[in-house]
A and B are shown apart, each in its own frame.
Chain A
Amino acid sequence: MNMNILVCIKQGPGEQVMGQFEELALEQGLALKDALLASGLKSDKEPPILDVITAGPDSDLADDMIRRAYGMGADKGIIVRTKTNGLMPAFNTASLLAGAAKSRYDLILTGIMSQDLMAGQTGPMLAELLSIPWAAGVVKVDLLPGKPALRVEQEMDKGGRQVLDISLPALLTIQSGGVPRYPTLSNMLKAGDKPITLLEEAGLCPVPRRETFIAMETPVKTRDGLEIKGNLKDQVDKFYKFLRGKNFI
C-alpha cells in the first residue's frame, strides 16, 4: 500500500523549535513511513512520502522548524506565509491548509493541540473542509495491510481507549505514541540545501475571521503561590519550617 502523508506543524513557545504535540505527530508519520518501507514495496509502486506544512507570518523560526523536520526525515516542506501577527483562529488556518493540501494526501496528521492556541480545532476543521473522516486524541496507529484504512486507538475521558478503523484518506490528531527521533547528521547536512515551498496567503483564498481575539490576561490564582526565595539552602530551610509547622515531618 502506498501512502502520502502530510504533517501540519507549528513552532513551540520560546526557543522550542517545534511544538510538543506537532513533534509527536511528525514522529508518528515517520514511523508509519518506516513501517511501509519495511513491509516492502513492489518496484512499480511509488514510495511513501511525508511532507510537512506550516502556516504563519514571515519568520526565520519557521524555516528552522522545516529544516528540523527535514533532519528527522520529511521529504518536502511547505510554508504558507500569512500577513497577520499573533494568534490566528483555527478556521482561518485550516482554510489555508486545505487550499494548500487540496486532496493530494492519504493521511494528514496534526498534534492534538498547539501550545499557544490550545484549542485542538485546526485538524478537525481541516478534515471537515476536505470532507475526510478524522479521529482526535490518537495514541496508537497501525496499518491494516491490504486495506485503504488504519486501525487507531483514541484516548477517551478517564483514560479508557477506543479502537476504531478509519478509512483513508483521513486525518488524525496525535496525543502521544513514540518518542520523537533526533534529526540525523546526514539529513541535517542535506537539509541546508533543500528547497522549501513558499505559498502566499492571498493565493489560497483566505476567509474572513469568525472570531476576534480581544485580549490576553494573567489567569486567576486558585491558591496563594507564596514564593520561597533565597539561595538553595535558604529555600530548603524555609520549606523545612513549613513542613515542621504542619507536622509533615
Chain B
Amino acid sequence: MNPILVIAEILGNRIGPVTLELVSAARMIRDSYPGGSSDKGGDTRENNSRILIVVPHRRPVPLADQLAADTGLDTIALSLPDTRACRNEVVKEALVALMKKTAPSHVLAAHTALGREIAPGLAVRLGAASIAGVIGIRSCSPDGGAPVFTRPVMDNTRVQAVEPDPNLPAVLTLVPGAFPRFSGKAVSGGRVLEETAAIDLRKLRTVQKKHLKPVGSSQALKSARVVVAAGRGIGEKENLGAVSQFAGAFPSSALAASRPLVDMGWIGYERQVGVTGASVSPDLYIACGISGSSQHLAGIKDAKYVVSINKNPDAPICRHSDLCITADVMAFIREFQLKSGEGE
C-alpha cells in the first residue's frame, strides 16, 4: 500500500510539536480504510509501516531517531545540502525528489509558513490533489473508505468539506491545534532511514539574507486581567482613544488590537493579539469590532470569558464568544460610558 507521508515541522534544531498532531491525523487517515495489509486497525507493525515521517534538515539523524522512538513509525532522515538558498525552496525540491521515490497516497504538512509555501507547489509537481488549512477529517461512509477533509471558507463563516480525487495522491496542510498530539506509547521503535536530498543546486533561485526577530508583546497585555481589543469595526484610528478609555473602566486592564490595525499603522505590534502577536489568557476579553478570523481566534482561546461587540450578527467571532452583542461598537462604548458616568 502507498505510504502516508508526514513532513516533520522543524523549528531550528527541535521537532515542532505540531509534528505529533500530523502523526495523529495520519493515523486517522490510515484507520479510515478497512482491510489493507491488516484487518486490525490501530498500532501493529504492519499498520505502522503504512505511515512514514520525513525529517528535512541539514543534520536530521538525531531528530529522526527521536521521532522514530516516540512514535514507532519509520522515519526518513533527509539530509539537506549546505546552500545560501532559502530553506523553503530547498525543502520543496528535496521533497519532490523523495515523493517520486516513495509514491505516497497522502502527504501531510503543517499549515505554517513552511507548509503553506511548499505544499501547493509540491502538489503541482506530483500531479496531486491539494487541500490547505484542514481542520477536520471524516470518513464519508459508515464502512470507512477514502476520508473527506474539512476546512474554513467564506471569511471563516463556513466550513467546507473537500474530497480529493481518489485516483491521485493528496497533499494536505493541517492547521496547528486542530488535531490532538500523538502521545501513545510506541509498539516498538520505528527504523531510521537515511537519505540525501537529490537537488540540483544550480536550479535554486532564492538567497536567504537574514532573520529578523519579532518585537515582543507588551508585558502589560500578557498579564492583564481584562483585555479590551480593537478591530476594524471601530472605524477610525481616532476612535482608539475612546476604546482605551473603555478599557480603563476595568481594573488591571490592557488595550489590544487585531492584526489589521497594526498593519495599517494605527497601533504598535506589541499590542497585536493573534497567531502572530500575543496569545492572551485574561479573565475577560472584550472584542470591539473584531470579525473573528482564525488567526485572531487562535490568540484568545484561553480567555476565561469572551464578549464580542460587532454590528454584524453573523461575524464568526460570535461562535467563539460567551456573550455576543450586536451593536455599533463606538455607539455601545458611548452608552456604556454614559451609564458608568451616572454611577448607575
Contacts and interface: CB of A to CB of B under 8 A. Distances in A.
Q: Mostly helix, strand, loop or mixed at chain B's interface?
A: mixed
B117 A136 contact: yes
Contact of B335 (A94, A209, A232): A232
Contacts of B301: 222
B325 A210 contact: no
A181 B292 CA distance: 25
B112 interface: yes
B319 interface: yes
Nearest to A160: B214
Nearest to B264: A179
Interface stretch (B57-65, B149-157, B193-201): B149-157
B320 interface: yes
Contacts of A159: 214-215, 269, 272, 276-277
A156 B124 contact: no
Interface string A110-121: 000001111111
Contacts of B155: 13, 115-116, 118
A228 B323 contact: yes
Interface in A190-241: 209-229, 232-233, 235-237, 239-240
Interface stretch (A68-76, A99-107, A127-135): A127-135
Measured as residues with beta carbon below 8 angstroms from the partner, the interface class of chain A is 35 or more
A139 to B, nearest CB: 8
B187 interface: no
Nearest to B124: A128
Contacts of A222: 301, 319-320
B283 interface: yes
A187 interface: no
A162 B158 contact: no
A246 B331 CA distance: 24
B164 interface: yes
Interface in A129-147: 129, 132-137
A135 B207 contact: no
B109 to A, nearest CB: 13
Interface string A141-181: 00000000001011111111111111100100000110100
Contacts of B181: none
A91 B319 contact: no
Contact of A164 (B86, B132, B157, B284): B86
A236 to B, nearest CB: 5
Main secondary structure of the interface of A (DSSP, over half): mixed
Nearest to B319: A221
Contact of A219 (B130, B152, B277): B152
Which among B86, B140, B269 has the highest number of chain A CB atoms within 10 Å? B86
Interface in B319-337: 319-327, 331-332, 335-336
A136 B323 CA distance: 36
B46 interface: no
B285 to A, nearest CB: 11
A232 B327 CA distance: 7
Contact of B306 (A94, A179, A223, A227): A223
11 contacts: A119-B131, A128-B125, A153-B212, A162-B86, A210-B129, A212-B162, A214-B160, A223-B320, A227-B326, A236-B336, A239-B336
Interface of B: 86, 89, 112-113, 116-121, 123-125, 128-133, 140, 148, 151-165, 168, 205-215, 226, 249-250, 263-265, 269, 272, 275-277, 283-284, 301, 305-307, 313, 316, 318-327, 331-332, 335-336, 339, 344
Interface of A: 13, 87, 90-91, 94, 115-121, 124-125, 127-129, 132-137, 151, 153-167, 170, 176-177, 179, 209-229, 232-233, 235-237, 239-240, 242, 246, 248-249
Given A118-B133, A165-B206, 16 more contacts: A87-B153, A118-B155, A120-B132, A135-B86, A159-B214, A164-B207, A170-B205, A214-B162, A219-B152, A219-B158, A222-B301, A223-B322, A224-B322, A225-B319, A226-B323, A227-B313
